[in-house]
Structure 1
Amino acid sequence: MMEKRWIRKPAPDAEKVRHLASALRVNEAIVALLCQRGVCTYDEAYAYFRPALTTLPDPLLMRDMDRAVQRLVRALHEGEKVLVFGDYDVDGTTSVALVYSYLLPLFGPERIDYYIPDRYKEGYGISEAGIDFAADNGYALIIALDCGVKSVDKIAYANTRGVDFIICDHHLPGAELPAAVAVLDPKRADCEYPFKELSGCGVGFKLMQALSDNQGLDETPLHEMFDLLAVSIAADIVPIVGENRTLAYHGLRLLNDPHHAQRPGLDALRELAGLGAGLLNISSLVFGFSPRINAAGRMGDAKRSVAMLLAATKEEATEKTGVVDKTNQERRGFDTSITKEALEMIEQDSTHRTAHSTVLYKEDWHKGVVGIVASRCLDKYYRPTIILTQSNGKATGSARSVVGFDVHQAIEECADLLDQYGGHMYAAGLTLPIENVDKFRAKFESIVAGRILPEQMIPPVEIDMVLPLSEITPSFYKLLQQMEPFGPGNPNPVFESERVYAATNSARIVGNSHLKLALTQDGQHTVDAIGFGLGEYHERILQGAPFNVCYTIEINEYRGVKNLQLRVKDIRWVE
């Protein structure tokens, strides 16, 4: 089993904790968690626990927003046709569903449509085929969502065809911005919008918010879109702080409101994912919703995911969701077989095994799953990873990275070998000539080897605090739940308990490799626990050795009975 690096967060100022605990009248351990996250006053705690829509920044603070709204209003009042164009992943398809469904009542079905590029024929982002479709069918304006900020040549082509663009993106811009009517991207160097980490769907939402304000429209239809925003925020792994946390909070409230009519597509997806009637959280959306929505784009036609999200009735949603789920099952087959092949390539080649990075290429791997395979290889070997395959005569693929290492920057330094690239610090995409793959592998490895720190190649477990098992009660867990939504920037707290034992006859192996046991401390307090993939610790635990354990706290439901359970992340033996 891969060694993990335990990182204990510094304890917050004890006086601040006591003062806030007294003001809030809650457990000091909970208040210590808040202070670690920069929430140290009563007002900050109130804003944290009750994120208010009134705190959302004015969309007009975003550079070019005024120009975008003016162009959209012109299209609305002059009878022009608008095409909503989006990327084929979850963020892109939710963006398209949000913007299209909001504009549909304003423009009418004859003047608005949506377009998702074919992953295999057109590739990522804005395509000439999409521009030609718009020009040939009388669309004067394209709203590009979750893509476009680097599409300088494509926008230049669109201008020759008389098609205007409003770009709504959240990826890092290049040195030159496209000559679009408006380029909305909070990561623009000249953009003063105060929150920089919106999802692509979030940028589309801000455009709709600005249009609504400009036209004096009722905000209710816009607030009905929070569910799509929550899904995009969860899937795109953007920080759940600031504006994202407010949007995700209200999106989850909408999804979990039993008195609110749910979006039929998401409701059908929830049922298909086996999420039942329990409360949805960010993790539910990441593991239950995202793979199925993503599958359509990975395996060919992401319009199927948009159609599912836009379904008007339960019957239509069930039909569309069934198609998307079948596609997801196909995706799983490719995912499993290609991951196995990729791991064997690493294990059987000493150069791959001992490198600081992983760059693999095989021409017949399915393009739609290379990002997933990169994540699987990273889980196994924990180093910056790029998986490439052949598409349209080029090598194309996805990159994933370890905590603290900027893979986008490393790829950017190899730009002389690439046709195009883009993405974030931890995830990126790239395309290059096949004959450059070996040169790219060598250069990328040299960059990673020269920059990555030894500790960055050991997966970290960040521990918030040491907690006695006696503190873990239903009331404590209820307070923890109030800190949701959890995600990057506001992670689910990880606790450490010291010198624990397995209760007598409780430790056993389940599902071949998982460890199930009850933990006890001081011979008194006992809590159920499970450690996925930690079965190799079983024998030593049976010998009665004490150990320290780090974990998150959750509810386990079995046959209708709910109990607190610790999800163990790692174990360390006590000498």
Structure 2
Amino acid sequence: MRWNLKPIQNSENVHALSQSLQVDPTIAQLLLARGIDSFDKAKQFFRPSLEDLHDPFLMKDMDKAVSRIEHAIAQGENILIYGDYDVDGTTSVALVSSYLKTLHPMIATYIPDRYAEGYGVSYMGIDYASDNDMTLIIALDCGIKAIDKVAYAKEKGVDFIICDHHRPGPQLPDAVAVLDPKRDDCEYPYDELCGCGVGFKLISALSRKRNQPFSELHPYLDLVATAIGADIVPMTGENRILAYYGLEVINTAPRPGFKAIIQQLKKDTLTITDVVFIIAPRINAAGRMKHGNHAVTLLVENDADAAHQYATEIEQYNADRKDADKSITEEALKQILKNNETNRKTSVVYQEDWHKGVIGIVASRLIETYYRPTLVFTKSGDKLAASARSVKGFDVYNALHECEDLIEQFGGHKYAAGLTLKEENYEAFKQRFEDVVNASCEERLLIPEITIDAKIDLDDITEKFYRIIKQFAPFGPGNMKPTFMTENLVDTGYGKRVGADETHLKVTVTQNNKGKRIGGIGFGIGDAYDLISNKKPFSAAYVLDENAWNGEVDLQLRIKDIK
């Protein structure tokens, strides 16, 4: 791995902030790197407040959206809440539909079928609304590029309100309101909300218009926190505040659907990492293996027994998803070897019977083996559908844009995208994508990078130091758990490979053969044992962690890499 040590902050600023906050200079350095350079900003960071959320009416078209919904309620219109089948989409639909049902009985929900309809707003969804006398669709986490679909709905007398967070194209849909903080003409102060975050701003605006106390919206924050974690949006600004309070709801008063999932886990307190790796995959599994409706049903259920039943079904979908993901990954890796493609700049694989619901996960798995931009294709109707994943620093969305003439449609973000193309264009696309990446992706980006926040000594690691680091949570992009580096470490002789297949490394280290001893675990780096055996000195890049064993909790290094 490439080790990238962040620049050391100005020593005068570090000293001033360290004195002002009465914290270790390393803590001050970490804060300055996050743009926190004063006592007041530090207070805001360590004590997130819902009062620091922005006025929802600062978002372009919010007044129009609220006005149209109020009109629909007053006229007794049927309203359809429409969202995608992933975590952000299903939590958004659960959020907005359950809130609106407290104001108006004529609320229905719609999640498109991943296989029959695909991603985003669909003609089938619009027909469903029209056939059932629904005159307003609120689209969440999708719709920003649905120009033709929104026009089609208008012809059928169905209005659209769009709540999205993806990049708009050159033209916006002709909707009643388009809420998207990434609009060029939107001056909302924070543009990194997820789809559920935009949905939350919508219900915040509605509740404010009705003079409802903001506290009535607190129970919905568990949904918002889950979407923020799952959609990997920056953990900064409003996202961090919403995630902080959403985690509080998950851990103290979760909705029955979450409670039913958590009860199967045997964990006392969930972090945002637990939400990302435990709750989110289960919600996602419904849309991947069966239908996203199952996730919404679980998330809006108020009866504990019914929620338990739905959670049990979703647990089975998740088990099926794991099996499919494992077998397809193995087949894809064999295909890369068989086609002699290990030295390419990209991984592009296709098999017509691969499960469409897991190809995005498989793309991420392939990057763990071959660290490069990756696409996994499967057959979808008469076309091929793919999930794209990228490596840090390379914009796969822009790369796909360079291949646009060979693609039917595509959408997504810098690091994750989806597309469809005609089967006859597959080979030409595969070569073009390789050529584009070859020409535009720097060689260094194809080596995994560890960004190191600070170089420290083992003696710097104290209970107080770790306690403050823990208060940097919730962690995520833009506020990752700090990674440290320590030099001149020596294993005390307890180092060994561990795990069923000895892929992990367990050590107990000292620095310069004196002073403090601390344990460490390195997952997936068992091969580094030779670097640390026989008391050879080494450097480690790691995050600080707790190791609970036999009722005792000790600090440990969770080692990412060794040199």
Distance of 2:34 and 2:215 partners within structure 1:
32
2:125 is aligned to: 130
**Does residue 460 of structure 1 match 2:457?**
no
1:526 is aligned to: 517
1:263 is aligned to: 255
Distance of 2:304 and 2:19 partners within structure 1:
49
**Alpha-carbon shift at residue 313 of structure 1 (Å):** 2.6
Counterpart AA for 2:436: I
Deviation larger for 41-50 or 555-564: 555-564
**Alpha-carbon shift at residue 249 of structure 1 (Å):** 1.3
Which one of 504, 523, 543 corresponds to residue 552 of structure 1?
A: 543
1:58 is aligned to: 55
Structure 2 unaligned residues grouped into runs of 5+: none
CA displacement 1:255-306 (0-9 Å, x = unmatched) = 233xxx32111122122234x11x3221111111111110000112111111
Contact preservation (8 Å) 1:467, 1:497: yes
**Does residue 398 of structure 1 match 2:419?**
no
Counterpart AA for 1:266: F
Contact preservation (8 Å) 1:120, 1:300: no
Listed as ranges, the matches of 1:59-138 within 5 Å are 59-108=56-105, 111-138=106-133
Listed as ranges, the matches of 1:238-249 within 5 Å are 238-249=233-244
Distance of 1:385 and 1:496 partners within structure 2:
30
- Name the SS of the counterpart of 1:396 in structure 2: strand
Contact preservation (8 Å) 2:495, 2:505: no
Distance of 1:262 and 1:289 partners within structure 2:
12
Distance of 2:125 and 2:146 partners within structure 1:
13
Counterpart AA for 1:553: L
Listed as ranges, the matches of 1:152-163 within 5 Å are 152-163=147-158
1:538 is aligned to: 529
Listed as ranges, the matches of 1:43-442 within 5 Å are 43-108=40-105, 111-257=106-252, 261-274=253-266, 276-277=267-268, 279-350=269-340, 352-442=341-431
Distance of 1:519 and 1:378 partners within structure 2:
31
Contact preservation (8 Å) 1:509, 1:538: no
Q: Cα distance 1:511–1:565, how it changes in 2: closer, same or farther (>3 A)?
A: farther
**Alpha-carbon shift at residue 240 of structure 1 (Å):** 0.5
Counterpart AA for 1:326: Q
1:35 is aligned to: 32
**Alpha-carbon shift at residue 542 of structure 1 (Å):** 2.2
**Alpha-carbon shift at residue 505 of structure 1 (Å):** 2.8
TM-score, L = length of structure 2: 0.98
**Alpha-carbon shift at residue 32 of structure 1 (Å):** 1.3
Distance of 2:484 and 2:5 partners within structure 1:
9
CA displacement 1:436-489 (0-9 Å, x = unmatched) = 111111111111111000111111000011111122222211111111111100
**Alpha-carbon shift at residue 539 of structure 1 (Å):** 3.3
Contact preservation (8 Å) 1:94, 1:228: yes
Distance of 1:235 and 1:90 partners within structure 2:
7
Contact preservation (8 Å) 2:360, 2:388: yes
**Alpha-carbon shift at residue 179 of structure 1 (Å):** 1.2
Distance of 2:463 and 2:274 partners within structure 1:
21
Counterpart AA for 1:516: K
- Name the SS of the counterpart of 1:225 in structure 2: helix
Distance of 1:120 and 1:255 partners within structure 2:
32
**Alpha-carbon shift at residue 16 of structure 1 (Å):** 1.3
- Name the SS of the counterpart of 1:524 in structure 2: strand
**Alpha-carbon shift at residue 367 of structure 1 (Å):** 0.2
Q: Cα distance 1:35–1:320, how it changes in 2: closer, same or farther (>3 A)?
A: same
CA displacement 1:104-133 (0-9 Å, x = unmatched) = 11012xx00111111111111111111111
Distance of 1:377 and 1:24 partners within structure 2:
44
- Name the SS of the counterpart of 2:342 in structure 1: helix
Contact preservation (8 Å) 1:507, 1:541: no
Structure 1 unaligned residues grouped into runs of 5+: none
Contact preservation (8 Å) 2:376, 2:387: yes
Counterpart AA for 1:545: K
1:469 is aligned to: 458
RMSD of aligned Cα (Å): 1.2
Distance of 1:360 and 1:407 partners within structure 2:
16
**Alpha-carbon shift at residue 508 of structure 1 (Å):** 3.5
Distance of 2:337 and 2:532 partners within structure 1:
30
In the alignment of these two chains, the number of paired residues is: 561
Distance of 1:421 and 1:159 partners within structure 2:
24
2:5 is aligned to: 8
**Alpha-carbon shift at residue 334 of structure 1 (Å):** 0.5
CA displacement 1:199-238 (0-9 Å, x = unmatched) = 0000111111111112222322212211111100000000
Contact preservation (8 Å) 1:510, 1:516: no
Counterpart AA for 2:43: Y
Contact preservation (8 Å) 2:222, 2:247: yes
Sequence identity, in percent? Answer: 49
Counterpart AA for 2:138: I
